[in-house]
Amino acid sequence: MNESYYYNYNPSSRAKINRPAGRSAYQTQARQRAGAYPAHRARPAKRRSMASVYIARYILLLAIYFVLMVVSALGMAMLLHFGFGGEPFVKTEPVMVAAAAPPAKASEGVGYEEYVEASISNLTFKLDLSEYEEYMNPSDRDAYIKLINQTYTIEKDFKPDDLVNAPYVRDGVVTPYLRLYAAKALEAMLSEAYANGCSQTLTVTSAYRSYDYQQFLYDYRVSVYSYLGEEEARKKAATIVAIPGQSEHQTGLAADIHTLLSADEVFENTYEFQWLKENSWKFGFILRYPKDKTHITGIIYEPWHFRYVGRYHAFKIYESGLTLEEYCELTGLGLD
Ligand SMILES: [Zn+2]
């Protein structure tokens, strides 16, 4: 038997192709019908093709099934979320990240206070700062949280009675003073900053300011914007230099710290700023006027302005990402 019978098999002209020499087409077909040729040996090709059709159909059905499953799952999810009338009847609560937001009251939030206590104790520094511990983390925790802004103002004749010479102040600063705890904590912060690779040019360019000095700074800034007209000049100036009575520099708890000739937003691009941003809470300081919070603080982004509040509150503010305004409103502290 000739092997080419099988390999040349052509179902549309079986007889013709399979016909051995010497037999007529009729004879060959008759013999095939009679089973003379193992026609089934030629069939595998057809069987394979049928199998692939079944597989294709099966895959198609599976695909349709999955599409229907996905569509119905989506529909169910939307129904659960939006309900029948647009009001969600299965409300999705935001995932609470432990300690991300401080509780409304210090006593609230199970485990949060323990977390805070653990976070603010036994910090390690490159330098031995043990003698500064009380200043960085004052035992009277709420003594330095006072909020000063456009709403909560400070009296004209207020002057702290514990002002001392602040450390690392640049030459030419008119009133280089801070309150004792802020000054000591600042000394610890900047010496540790230098130990961690910060430039020695990272220094204090403004510290305590009297009401009158703030008035001088504010009037100067208004004169710079006088081309805008009196009212607009005052508005614009107030976003950059606080109106007298609204500056926390008068509390003796705030310091402008940077490496530039004059305070500028580009300070945020420096290693020194990044270090302060991440570490200042350890020394009791917060970045007081963060980026994109002007609508809350009323003051432009000031990457150079740090405010002493003590480590306990500084940590909570740092952790939560809240401004001092929000933190004080939330806790009820510093508003008197
Ligand atoms: Zn400042």
8 Å CB contact between 132 and 185: yes
Exposure on the CB side of residue 204, measured as CA atoms within 13 A: 29
Task: Output the CA 263–ligand 1 centroid distance in Å.
Answer: 9
Give CA–CA dist 79/88, Å, rounded: 8
Gap from CA of 247 to ligand 1 centroid (Å)? 8
Q: What sign does the dihedral 217-324-290-190 (CA atoms) show?
A: positive
Q: What gap in Å lies between CA 198 and CA 190, rounded to an integer?
A: 9
Domains parsed from the chain with CATH numbers: 4-42 (no CATH), 112-209+247-331 (3.30.1380.10)
- Residue 68: what pLDDT? 81
Residue-by-residue pLDDT tens, the chain, 336 positions: 454 445 555 555 454 555 556 666 666 676 666 666 555 555 555 556 777 878 888 888 888 887 788 777 776 766 555 544 444 444 444 444 445 455 444 455 679 999 999 999 989 999 999 999 999 999 999 999 999 999 999 999 999 999 999 999 999 999 999 999 999 999 999 999 999 999 999 999 999 999 999 999 999 999 999 999 999 999 999 988 999 999 999 999 999 999 999 999 999 999 999 999 999 999 999 999 999 999 999 999 999 999 999 999 999 999 999 999 999 999 999 998
| Partners of 287 in the β-ladder | 306
Burial status of residue 251 (CB atoms within 10 A of its CB: 0-12, 13-18, 19 or more): buried
The residues carrying an active-site annotation are 302
- How many whole angstroms separate alpha carbon 94 and alpha carbon 135? 37
Contact 220, 269 (CB under 8 A): no
Q: What is the DSSP letter of 82?
A: H
In sequence order, what are the residues at sequence separation of 6 or more whose Cβ sits closer than 8 angstroms to the Cβ of residue 11? 42, 46
Q: How many CA atoms lie within 13 A of 9 on its CB side?
A: 16
- What is the Å distance from ligand 1's center to 305 Cα? 5
Q: Which residues surround ligand 1, an ion (CB under 5 A)?
A: 256, 305
**C-alpha dihedral (324, 327, 331, 332), degrees to nearest 10:** 40
CA 303 to ligand 1 centroid distance, Å: 9
Distance separating alpha carbons of residues 284 and 186, to the nearest angstrom = 9
Quick one: tokens of 141? 């925790």
46: CA distance to ligand 1 center in Å? 86
Residues facing 178 on adjacent strands: 164
Query: 307: closest CA among 251, 226, 225, 231?
Result: 251
pTM of the predicted protein model = 0.67
**CA 19 to ligand 1 centroid distance, Å:** 104
Distance from residue 145's CA to the centre of ligand 1 (Å): 16
Check residue 18 and give its pLDDT: 56
For the chain, strand residue ranges (E) read: 163-165, 177-179, 203-206, 254-258, 285-289, 302-308
